[in-house]
A and B are shown apart, each in its own frame.
Chain A
Amino acid sequence: MISQFFVLSQRGDNIVFRDYRGEVAKGSAEIFFRKVKFWKEDGQEEAPPVFNVDGVNYFHVKVVGLLFVATTRVNVSPSLVLELLQRIARVIKDYLGVLSEDSLRKNFVLVYELLDEVIDFGYVQTTSTEVLKSYVFNEPIVVDAARLQPLGPAAIFMQGTKRMPGTAVTKSVVANEPGGRKREEVFVDIIEKISVTFSSSGYILTSEIDGTIQMKSYLSGNPEIRLALNEDLSIGRGGTVYDYRSSSGSGAVILDDCNFHESVRLDSFDMDRTLSLVPPDGEFPVMNYRMTQEFKPPFRINCLIEEAGQLKAEVIIKVRAEFPSNITANTIAVQMPLPKYTTRASFELEPGAVGQRTDFKEANKKLEWGLKKIVGGSEHTLRAKLTFSQESHANLTKEAGPVSMTFTIPMYNVSRLQVKYLQIAKKSSSYNPYRWVRYVTQANSYVARI
C-alpha cells in the first residue's frame, strides 16, 4: 500500500504528483529530493533506493534521468513497490512511445489518467497496458524521438540500421499511424548483458550472462505466439560450482536459471523448448535468464603501465575484438583510474585512427578512451604518457586500474541462445505481420585487472 506517487525531474521539479491516501505531508517531494541529492556530505555515495525519513518510507527508481517515487508509512514489501514503480514507467512509455521529461510534461494529463487506474487508495489495481486502454481517453502528444537520448538497451535499434524500422520502439500503443491503419508487427529482442573479470594475467576470473527475451507486440486481436528456442537448451547445472574448462567449444546452451512472464505457458517447453503466449500489449520481458557457462568474451584487453623516467610513466592499452568481422561493436568506452598523483596525460592513438577520442579527467584522475565502432577481428591500441607530481614509492599496478569497458554489439549474442522461429497463429491466409527478432550484447561489468 503506497501513500503518494510522484515523478521528479533531474532538477527536482514535480512533473506529476498523486496523493492516494493523504497520510504523508505534501512537502514530501522536497524532503525526498533534498535527501537524495545530499545523501552524504562528500557527494560520493548514492542514496539507496529505499530510505526512511521521520517515519515516511521513500522508494525511488531512476528511469531516463527521472525519479519515480512512492511514499508510504507502512512496512510494505520493498520489491513490490520498486517493481511497481518500474512498471508504471513502462506503462507510461507504452502510451507515450517515448519516455522523457519532455514527453511526460506534454502528456501529464494522460499520465494522471493512467495513475488513477493503476492505483486506487494506495492499492495496485492493474498495470496491464491492454486493460488500461479502455480507461484512457487522452491522445498522446508524440514527441520527436530523433532528438532524444537513446533509452535502454533496445534503443540502439533506432540508430538507423536498414533492417530496422526507425520508429518501431518509440511507437505508442494507442496512437494511430498517419495512414490510419496500424501496422501489424511484433518485436522480439534478445538482450544479453555480460559481466567478465580478467585477472592481471588475462585469465577469466568470473563471467556471467544476464539475458532477457523482450517482446513488444503491435498485433491486433491477440493472436497466440510460439517462440522456439535452441532444442539442446538445458536449465540448471549440477550444483553451482564454477568450472570454466568443462564446457568449452560448441555444445548445449546451459542456463543456470530462468524465469518467465506470467503470460507464458510452458506446456511443451520440456518437450521441444517452445514457449507459447498470447502477448499482452506493450513491452514486457518474456523470459529472464542467467548463465555462468563459459563463453568466448567478445573483447580481450591488454594493459601495461610502467615507469618511464623520473615522475613519468607510460600506459599501453590494447583492445582486440574477438568476434566475426561481419559484426561491429559500437559506442565503446574504455576507462582506467590512474595514480592519484598524476597531473598530466598525453595520448597517442594509432596512425589513421577514426572516430576515437581520449580524455584525462583531472578531477577523478581517470583516463577515458572512446571508440565509435570496432569491427570484428580488429585490434586498437592507445598509448598514454603520464606525468606525476611526486615520486611513486610502490608498485604502479597497485595505484592504477582496473581497466573497465562498456560497449554494445548489435546482432550478436554470446550465449548462443536463439529464437529458432517465431510463429504467429494465423487468422487468415493474407495475415502476415512483420516479425523482428533482434540480438544485442552489452557490457554490464567488463573489467581487466592489471
Chain B
Amino acid sequence: MAPPAQSQRSPSPSQPSGKSEVSDLKLQLRQLAGSRAPGVDDSKRELFKKVISYMTIGIDVSSLFGEMVMCSATSDIVLKKMCYLYVGNYAKVNPDLALLTINFLQRDCRDEDPMIRGLALRSLCSLRVANLVEYLVGPLGSGLKDGNSYVRMVAVMGVLKLYHISASTCIDADFPSILKHLMLHDSDTQVVANCLSALQEIWSAEASTSEEASREREALISKPVIYYLLNRIKEFSEWAQCLVLELVTKYVPSDSSEIFDIMNLLEDRLQHANGAVVLATIRVFLQLTLSMTDVHQQVYERIKAPLLTLVSSGSPEQSYAVLSHLHLLVMRAPYVFSSDYKHFYCQYNEPSYVKRLKLEMLTAVANESNTYEIVTELCEYAANVDIPIARESIRAVGKIALQQYDVNAIVDRLLQFLEMEKDYVTAEALVLVKDLLRKYPQWSHDCIAVVGNISSKNVQEPKAKAALIWMLGEYSQDMQDAPYVLESLVENWDEEHSAEVRLHLLTAVMRCFFKRPPETQSALGAALAAGIADFHQDVHDRALFYYRILRYNVSVAERVVNPPKQAVSVFADTQSSEIKDRIFDEFNSLSVLYQKPSYMFTDKEHRVPLEFADELGNLSIGEAANNVVPTQMVEENDKDLLLTTSEKEETKGSRNNGSAYTVPYDGSSTSVFASQAQIESAVSNPTLAGHSPQASFAIDDLLGLGIPATPAVPSPPQLKLNTKAALDPSTFQQKWRQLPVALSQEISVNPQGVAALTAPQALLRHMQSHSIHCIASGGQSPNFKFFFFAQKFEESSNYLVECVINTSSAKAQVKIKADDQNTSQDFSTLFESALSKFGTS
C-alpha cells in the first residue's frame, strides 16, 4: 500500500491542512503590516516562520502574497530573507502581485551592504516571471561590475536565470560576453566557476541555432582557457574543481608531453578526500591516455588504491557510487584487479545492490591463481540468509566454471550445492550443471551420478525443472531410471503449469525414446497425446510436429531430435561492447550507476552541456560542419577492450582540427590517427561519387530538361519502400551509432527546392510522400539538418539518412546507413530522386 497523499493526512499540530489557519495568518499579517510598534519584528518573524513552514509541507499559502509583500518593508535581514524565499516560491503563480515586489527588491539591489545587494539580486532573478525581465537587466549589469565578489557571484548566476526566463533578453544585453571576460579575469574563483557553468549552459543551448555560439562553446575547451583554469585549480573550491576537471576531459592535447604535463599537475587530486574530485580526475586520466596503451594500463594501476580507499571511507551511499565506477573498470580490465579480489568479498551487512556489484566483480577477476579462494568464498554466500544473493552467488560460481579451463574443483562444489537440500540452491545448481554440461560434455559421468539422485518432486521452479528434464533426455542412456522419471512427469502433465517445462518434457521423452525405445514407448505416446491436446500453441505445435515426423520417417526424426551435439564454446554476452564503450565514455556520471548510456534515461533537452556525441537531439550545425570524419570505424570495436574508445578519440581530434583554434599536430599518435581518418574519408568520397548517378543529374540540368521523372537511366532492380514504416527515435539512435556509413555524398539541390525550403517542415511532408520519413530535423536558414529513415517494403530492413542542406550553396550533404549494405546504392538513388522533386510538384 502506498502512503496516503499529504493533503489527505489527518491534521496534527505540526501538519495543519485547513484553510482556517491560512486566513488566520492573513488577518494577523494585515494587523502587523503598518505597525511600527516595538517588538513588531519579532512577531513578524514568528508569523513568517509559520508561513514558510506551511509552504514547506505543501500547504498553498499563495493567497498571503499581498500581505507578505506589505510586511516586507523592514530592515530586519532575517525577515527579508524569509520574505524573499516566499516571494521566489510564489511569484510564478502570481505574476501580477510579483510586480509589487520589484520595487523593494530593486531598492535593495542598491543597498550599501553587499550582502543585501546580493540577496536582493538573487531573489529578483529567481522570480521566474517573463514580463518582469525588463527590470532585471539594469541590476544585473551593475551586479556584474560590483566591487564585492559575493554580488558578482550572485549576478553571474542571475544571468543564467535570466537566460532561462528570456534567452533573447540575455543575449541582447550581451551578458555572455561579459561573463566570458569575467571568467578569464575575475580574481574570485567562485565567480570564475559560476561563469563557466553559466556559459556552458548558455552556449550549449544556443549552439543549435547560432554558429557563433557553437564556436564560443568550442573556445571553452581551447588551450588558453584550459591552461588558465588548470593552473589555478587549487584555488577553486572542491566543487568548482570538479567543474574544471569535467571541462578538461573534453580538451584534446596536441601531443603526449602535454598529456603528461596535465597528468602530473593533477596527480595529487587523486589523494583528495572528496570522491567527486577523485573520480573527475580519474576520468581525465583515462580519457587522455586512451590512445597510449601502456600509459593507460599504468593509469589503471595508479587509480586502484585511491578508488579502494574511497570505497571503504565515507557513507555507504558515497561508497556505492565509487564502487559502481570500480565495477566498470574491473569489467573492462579484470586482469588488472585479479590480485585485489579480497576487496570484493561481500560483507554480511551490505545492502543487496552493493553485494550484487561485488559478485559480478568477483566473477570477472577470477583466474587460475585465485579461483579456488573465490569459489570457496562464494560457496559461503550460498547459505546466506539473503536468498536472492545466495542465488546469485551460485550463479557466479557457475559463470566462473564456464570461463575457466580447469573446472575440476568447481564441478565438485556445484555438486555439493545439489546435496545441500535447500530448494533454491538445488534449483540454481541444476540450471548451472545443465549449462556446464553443454560446454563440457566430458563431465557428464560425475554430474549425472549426482543429478540422478535428485527427486524431480523436490524441484519446483520451472527453469530448474526444465534443466533437470533436459538432462534426463540428453543423458537417458546413463541414468538408470530416466524413462520412468519422465513417464511419471508425463502422467502429471496437467499439473505442470509452465509451458517451458512441457516443451522440454516433450523433447526429452523423444530423445529418451531413441535411446531406450521399449521402456519409453508408452510415455512417448502419452506425452504426444497430451501435447497435441495442450492449449498452449507452442506445445501443441511441437507435439504435432514430433508426431508427424515420427510417422513420416523415424530415422529422420532421430536426426532432427538427436543430432550429434557440439559443445558450446561461448555463451552470448548480454551487453554489446558498443553500449559498454558508451558507458565508459560517460565515466563519472549516472550512466555508470544505471549501467546504461545516458540517451536511454535522459530527455534530450537535459543532456549535459558540451556533450560531444553526435546526438539526434543535438542538431548543432556548427558541429556537423566540422564533423568531417564519418563514424565509419565502429565495426573495429572489439579489437582490444581497453582501447575501443580510441576511435572516438580520433573523431574528436579531427573534429577539433577544423574548429576555431588549430592544435598543432606534430607526430603524436593522435595526429597520425586523425590525418589518416581524413585521408580515408577524402579517398572514399570520390569513389562513391563515381558510383552515384550524380553526374547524370548535372547533365540533365545543363540541358534544361527540367526535372526527370525517374532518376538515373539504368534503373536497378526497383527498390520498394514501405509507406507506413515506423521506427522509434531510440532505435534509430542505436542503429545510427552501430551501423557504418554505407554512402556519403554531396547532392545539388535544385533552385525550386531551395526556394521551397523556408522551414524544415516543408521538406518533411515532401519526403514522406516518397515513403521517406523524418525522425528529427532542425536548423534555420541557410543551414538545415535532417535525419530520415525508410524501410524496405515487406521487410524490416532499414535505411537511415543524415542530410545537411545548405540553401545558400544549394548543396546537400547526405550520409546513408543501411541494415542491408547491398541495397544502399539503390536507396541512395531513390533518395536523390525524391529530393530532386522537392519544390516542383
Contacts and interface: CB of A to CB of B under 8 A. Distances in A.
A38 B387 CA distance: 19
Interface string B1-29: 01101100000001100000000000000
Contacts of B385: 337, 364
Contacts of A287: 273
A112 B272 contact: no
Interface string A336-365: 010000000000000000000000000010
A259 B607 contact: no
A74 B606 contact: yes
Contact of A79 (B128, B164, B276, B386): B276
B590 A52 contact: yes
A257 B317 contact: no
A75 B608 contact: yes
Contact of B154 (A34, A120, A128): A120
A445 B242 contact: no
A259 B317 contact: no
B340 A240 contact: yes
B594 interface: yes
Contacts of B419: 394
Given A34-B2, A46-B352, A55-B603, A79 B157 contact: no
A434 interface: no
Given A48-B353, A134-B115, A240-B339, A256 B308 contact: yes
Contacts of A121: 157, 160-161
Interface in A88-118: 105, 108-109, 112-113, 116
Nearest to A87: B274
Contacts of B6: 13, 30
A326 interface: no
B322 A79 contact: yes
Q: Which of B92, B304, B309 has the most CB of A within 10 A?
A: B309
Contact residue range for chain B? 35 or more
Nearest to A46: B351
B278 A116 contact: no
B351 A285 contact: no
B160 A242 contact: no
B239 A84 contact: yes
Interface in B265-297: 271-276, 278-280
Nearest to A210: B312
A161 B160 CA distance: 53
Contacts of A289: 309
A290 interface: yes
B interface majority secondary structure: helix
B598 A48 contact: no
A109 B52 contact: yes
A260 B273 contact: yes
Interface in A55-82: 55, 57, 60-62, 73-80, 82
A75 B601 CA distance: 9
Contacts of B808: none
A45 interface: yes
Given A337-B385, A398-B383, A290 B309 contact: yes
Contacts of A34: 2-3
Contacts of B317: 49, 60-62, 82, 85-86
Contacts of B695: none
Contacts of A195: 347
Contact of A393 (B49, B153, B274, B421): B421
Interface stretch (A14-22, A177-185, A305-313, A317-325): A14-22
Contacts, number: 246
Nearest to A135: B115
A449 interface: yes
A220 to B, nearest CB: 22
Contacts of A16: 56
Given A15-B56, A61-B315, A75 B309 contact: no
A449 B193 CA distance: 52
Nearest to B241: A262
- For the residues of A in contact with B, the DSSP-based class is mixed
A121 B608 CA distance: 15
Interface in A208-265: 208, 210, 212, 236, 239-242, 256-262
Contacts of B122: 116, 120
Contact of A45 (B57, B377, B383, B388): B388
Contacts of A57: 590, 601
Contacts of A404: 348-349
Nearest to B602: A75
Contacts of B58: 14, 17, 26
Contacts of B77: 137
Given A125-B153, A126-B237, A290-B313, A260 B276 contact: no
A236 B380 CA distance: 31
Given A212-B313, A257-B305, A260-B271, A120 B157 contact: yes
B466 interface: no
B89 A19 contact: yes
A62 B305 CA distance: 27
B197 interface: yes
Interface in B308-347: 308-310, 312-318, 320-322, 324-325, 339-340, 342, 345, 347
Given A55-B602, A75-B590, A108-B52, A83 B342 contact: no
B351 A45 contact: yes
Contact of B2 (A38, A45, A135, A208): A38
B798 to A, nearest CB: 27
Contacts of A26: 58
A83 B318 contact: yes
A447 interface: yes
B121 to A, nearest CB: 11
Contact of B590 (A44, A50, A61): A50
B190 interface: yes
A447 B606 contact: no
B586 A75 contact: yes
B733 to A, nearest CB: 15
Interface in A182-220: 195, 197, 205-206, 208, 210, 212
Contacts of A288: 273, 309, 313-314
Nearest to B190: A125
A26 B93 CA distance: 13
Interface stretch (B78-86, B136-144, B624-632, B781-789): B78-86
A36 B275 CA distance: 24
Of residues A37, A46, A123, A240, which shows the largest number of chain B Cβ atoms within 10 Å of its Cβ? A123
A428 B711 CA distance: 95
Contacts of A38: 2
Nearest to B270: A259
Contacts of A239: 339
A242 B318 CA distance: 26
Given A78-B321, A197-B345, A290 B308 contact: yes
A109 B320 CA distance: 32
Nearest to B316: A49
B367 interface: no
Contacts of B349: 404, 445
20 contacts: A17-B58, A37-B3, A50-B320, A52-B601, A73-B603, A75-B607, A76-B608, A79-B321, A82-B321, A108-B52, A109-B49, A123-B197, A134-B115, A137-B77, A240-B304, A256-B308, A257-B309, A259-B313, A393-B421, A402-B380
Shortest Cβ-Cβ A-B pairs, 10 listed: A445-B347, A80-B276, A49-B317, A257-B305, A288-B313, A124-B239, A73-B606, A79-B321, A210-B312, A75-B598
Given A49-B317, A55-B606, A76-B608, 11 more contacts: A13-B6, A30-B3, A75-B607, A82-B317, A82-B318, A83-B276, A137-B78, A205-B377, A240-B305, A259-B271, A399-B383
Interface of A: 1, 12-17, 19, 21-23, 26, 30, 33-34, 37-38, 44-46, 48-50, 52, 55, 57, 60-62, 73-80, 82-86, 105, 108-109, 112-113, 116, 120-121, 123-128, 134-135, 137-138, 195, 197, 205-206, 208, 210, 212, 236, 239-242, 256-262, 285, 287-290, 292, 337, 364, 393-394, 398-399, 402, 404, 444-445, 447, 449
